Structure 1
Amino acid sequence: MNIKDTLISALQGDKHSINRLCDHFRRISVAYLRTKANRNNLLLSHLYKNIDDLALDCIADLFGQEGDCLSQIEGYLDDTEIEKLKESEVATKLRRLIFSKVNEGLYRNYRNFDPSLSKIIRNLKRTLDEGKVEGARYDSNTGDIEFEEKDKPRANMPEEILEIKLSSALSRISNTVDAVQELKNILIEEREYSSKVSLVSFAVILRKSFAYRLEMEEKDKLGNSMSLYKERELHTFIKNCIATERVQLFQTYVSSGKINEKHFEKYLLVVKDILVADFIKHSPREGYFEHFEFYFPEISYERYRDEYRKIIEYMAKGIRQRLLLVLKNEENFSKFDLW
């Protein structure tokens, strides 16, 4: 039985066909994941300990629960449309659906594994969805950033080459709009390659490139003195400063009824992330809103600016000042006088 007939029978409720369809989806998912794994990205190695489990995790919601089985697939490709399509066309549309689900699954796993990377991915998607770079778009079916097509199909630029090209342009990148614009410039210049790049892969390259640059900057500034202080100690400084300031801030905001305690605790997490980004520098510098949005994804930038920004900035300023006082008293942290 070909995939078109299998799909039709599965949508009609035949359990044997549903099992065959699930196995077909799993095999394509595994193959797609392996093409990504073969790029030897260290960040992916954590997720690929069991590639079959990861593949099933990515496509699981397509098959739903009993009574809701295949509803997503049917919504994407119904009986009427299937009948009009050729076998090859059905196979192509299903592959697009599977690729989309794999990319969503990877993003979900990335978010759990590396919150900084997930912020970059989310901000790239928003930049593309809002059309902030002319000619750039995000294809949710393939997970690619796409620009205007070149004359004929070409091979994708190897990630190693893109990373080298992007590294030389980091000084011109201060946000995701700049990043997409630089990507566009690189692909225009390199005419022998395709005009599209995986969004997740591009985000990983950005993350790695900025982390490496910041690491080099720190080494240049501090030499070997920074080796006396480990990340854990810096995290402890930040944690202790937040705990100290928390008492007064609680009285100011929660006891007075200005905000509820649940939101107050989230605000402190936002401030912690801001300070970690500023002082430990494991990720590209981001505005306060990017950190706020991670804990309050339902709140727009306009609402944040009007209702929340002053509180976050006030809390961050007070805790930052206390942290600076602590660091000034610590040997080898005189560099923070300049902040």
Structure 2
Amino acid sequence: MDLHSSHIPPLLRVVVSGTASLQEVNALVRHAHHFALIRLKQLMASGRLHLQSFPVTLESTALDCIAELFERDAEGRFIELEQYFTVEHDADGLADDELIAMLRSLVFTKLNDGLFALYRENDPVLSKIIRNIKLAAEKAGGVTVDRILGIPVLRVDCGEDRTPGTEVTLEDLEARFSETLHGTRSTGEYLLSLKEHLLGNKDLRDTVSLIDCAVCIKRHMLQYQVSLHQVMMEDATLFEGDASVLIDGTLRRMEQELAGRYVRKNRLDQHSFHAYMRAIAAMTKDTYLRSDGNERKYGEYLQEHLPGLTYDEYRQHHRKQFEYMATLVKKAVKQRLKELL
């Protein structure tokens, strides 16, 4: 498949003009998907994206995120592309390299929007923290939410140009929060700590990834057993109780429900059932509380609670039932979190 960027400008022009063939449209979709996929791989490799616990692939995520760009109206026109390249910008008057850069930027923006939707769908706790960071930034002096290549960042007013500068990594943020913050803290206090850190280190950039900041706050909460409602701002919709308590309650309810389906109907013995539920509980908390980026397979969780279990045994005797039960439990937990966030 030839994805040389020199093919993009003529493809983009015919698609925007409404004269493109199906083959030309598909070719442009492949280029946009390629941009999105490469960016996702870069974010994953740098530790700035945390999708391992979600039931998605990078390829499908990239395609889902750009799909809106290629939606047609009743007349078959590509609404968003035409708006961007004919109303907001004049595609015919732009050089080829400018068109390529603009398409890449548009894809990155759509990718970011899609990732936020993915977090909302699969990690309501992290989504809530992100929302409250934005609220806190509006109230905090000298901190604003900005975008770089479509990726949301927190920008601190350092009174000078910090480009280029040393990137603030996820590890830097974790170390900073651990050194300066203990116990119950508000979102605003996290941002103040971040602001002081950047102001005091002139070699650092003046921007930090918004999602990195949210992940660090979530990990810090877990470390100090801080309830989410204690971190949220007063004017935000409060989370009713600690997320871990809510998850534990949902797990207990689902265990009772599933015991009726499997143990009492002799579809699963008591020992295996309890091992299943302990493994599912660990998996669920890793997904919704820790967001630690560790990629673990379903079978690995069960092996911890059924010592000596081989992969072949898992695949032949446990996989179908265990993974179905895990899907039911995670769906119930996700729905419960959505109701309260």
- Quick check: TM above 0.5? yes
How far 1:30 sits from its partner (Å)? 0.7
Q: Distance in 1 between matches of 2:141 and 2:223?
A: 29
List alignment gaps of at least 5 residues for structure 2.
1-5, 227-243, 254-287, 291-336
Aligned sequence identity (%): 26
Could you state the TM-score of these two structures normalised by the residue count of structure 1?
0.59
Residue 4 of structure 1 is matched in structure 2 by 9
Say if 1:232 and 1:145 are closer, same or farther in 2 by CA, change over 3 A. closer
Tell me whether 1:163 sits opposite 2:174 in the alignment: yes
Tell me whether 1:206 sits opposite 2:217 in the alignment: yes
After TM superposition, the structure 1 = structure 2 runs for residues 88-99 of structure 1, keeping only pairs within 5 Å, are 88-99=97-108
Residue 77 of structure 1 is matched in structure 2 by 85
Q: Could you tell me whether the CA contact under 8 Å between 2:156 and 2:206 is conserved in 1?
A: yes
How far 1:236 sits from its partner (Å)? 6.3
Aligned counterpart for 1:138 among listed residues 125, 133, 145: 145
How far 1:175 sits from its partner (Å)? 2.5
Q: Distance in 2 between matches of 1:151 and 1:41?
A: 21
User: Going by fraction, where is helix more abundant, 1 or 2?
Assistant: 1
Aligned counterpart for 1:186 among listed residues 197, 219, 243: 197
Q: Distance in 1 between matches of 2:53 and 2:252?
A: 28
Partner AA of 1:45 in structure 2: Q
DSSP-derived class of the 1:174 partner: coil
Q: Could you tell me whether the CA contact under 8 Å between 1:173 and 1:179 is conserved in 2?
A: no
Tell me whether 1:175 sits opposite 2:180 in the alignment: no
Q: Distance in 2 between matches of 1:97 and 1:173?
A: 39
Residue 56 of structure 1 is matched in structure 2 by 63
Q: Could you tell me whether the CA contact under 8 Å between 1:47 and 1:54 is conserved in 2?
A: no
DSSP-derived class of the 1:137 partner: strand
Aligned pair count reads 233
| Larger RCO, structures 1/2 (Cα 8 Å, 6+ apart) | 2
How far 1:202 sits from its partner (Å)? 1.5
Give 4+ residue runs of structure 1 displaced > 4 Å after superposition: 40-43, 230-234, 236-239, 293-297
Say if 1:9 and 1:142 are closer, same or farther in 2 by CA, change over 3 A. same
How far 1:233 sits from its partner (Å)? 9.5
Tell me whether 1:153 sits opposite 2:157 in the alignment: no
Q: Distance in 2 between matches of 1:78 and 1:233?
A: 49
Q: Distance in 1 between matches of 2:118 and 2:126?
A: 11
How far 1:46 sits from its partner (Å)? 2.3
How far 1:41 sits from its partner (Å)? 7.0
Q: Distance in 2 between matches of 1:106 and 1:29?
A: 11
Q: Could you tell me whether the CA contact under 8 Å between 2:153 and 2:207 is conserved in 1?
A: yes
Q: Distance in 2 between matches of 1:199 and 1:151?
A: 18
Tell me whether 1:235 sits opposite 2:244 in the alignment: no
Could you state the TM-score of these two structures normalised by the residue count of structure 2?
0.58
DSSP-derived class of the 2:98 partner: helix
How far 1:234 sits from its partner (Å)? 4.9
How far 1:43 sits from its partner (Å)? 4.2
Say if 1:209 and 1:179 are closer, same or farther in 2 by CA, change over 3 A. same
Partner AA of 1:12 in structure 2: S
Q: Could you tell me whether the CA contact under 8 Å between 1:63 and 1:69 is conserved in 2?
A: no
Q: Distance in 1 between matches of 2:340 and 2:57?
A: 32
Aligned counterpart for 2:41 among listed residues 26, 34, 40: 34
Say if 1:151 and 1:107 are closer, same or farther in 2 by CA, change over 3 A. closer
Partner AA of 2:43 in structure 1: K
Say if 1:178 and 1:238 are closer, same or farther in 2 by CA, change over 3 A. farther
DSSP-derived class of the 2:161 partner: coil
How far 1:126 sits from its partner (Å)? 3.0
The alignment yields a C-alpha RMSD, in angstroms, of 3.6
Tell me whether 1:197 sits opposite 2:208 in the alignment: yes
